[in-house]
Amino acid sequence: MLCQLLIRVIQLYQFVISPWLPPMCRYTPTCSEYAIQALRTHGLWRGLRLAIGRLLRCHPFHPGGYDPVPMPEQMKY
How much is the pLDDT for 1? 85
pLDDT tens digits, 12-50: 999 999 999 988 888 999 999 999 999 999 999 999 999
Q: What is the DSSP letter of 60?
A: T
Given a contact cutoff of 8 angstroms between Cβ atoms, the answer to whether 6 and 39 are in contact is yes
Tell me how far apart the alpha carbons of residues 60 and 47 are, in angstroms, rounded to a whole number. Answer: 24
Phi, psi of 70 (to 5 degrees): -70, 145
pLDDT for 64 beyond 60: yes
Residue 39 Cα distances to 24, 28, 62, angstroms: 22, 17, 23
